Amino acid sequence: MSGKEKAPSQRMLRMGELVRHALAEVFSRGDVHDPVLETHVITIPEVAMTPDLRHATAYVMPLGGKDGRAVIDALNRNKKYMRGVVAKKINAKFAPDLHFRIDERFDRAEKIDKLLRQPEVQRDLRKEEDE
């Protein structure tokens, strides 16, 4: 986090979880009738809320990590409908505008793993253990 960013408040975290659960239920029940979404299993590891709770960014990942762009496009085509469904499921003053992004945490974790398994890094780690 940079100096200007603050950690999310409990309120933001709680609302993010409510939206995440509502979206997960929509996907698991197959409520959105879109050919792309009907052929993909989508996970939602996190939903980040803005401080005013008017915008929700859902970080999504299609199973296997394939067709990410097509899934995001399909979610954006159907976000008005999903916003209405989410509004009914959460008890909030305003239904947040939904934004969708691919969750890249898995890719970053894999890159870090690969770096840590490199022979040079393993050699350096063994040196530190021996000292």
Q: What are the domain boundaries of the chain?
A: 10-103
Place of tokens 């934004």: 99
| Low pLDDT (below 50) residues in the chain | 1-3
Give the chain's radius of gyration (CA, Å).
19
Which of 5, 22, 11 is closest to 82 using CA atoms? Answer: 22
- What pLDDT is recorded for position 71? 93
- What pLDDT is recorded for position 75? 95
Phi, psi angle pair for 49, to nearest 5°: -105, 150
- What pLDDT is recorded for position 130? 66
Neighbour tally for 75: CB within 10 Å: 23
| 10-103 under CATH 3.40.50.720, yes or no | no
pTM (2 decimals)? 0.75
- What pLDDT is recorded for position 128? 64
- What pLDDT is recorded for position 131? 62
Q: Are 28 and 37 in contact (CB under 8 A)?
A: no
Phi, psi angle pair for 44, to nearest 5°: -125, 90
d(CA 121, CA 20): 38
Neighbour tally for 119: CB within 10 Å: 7
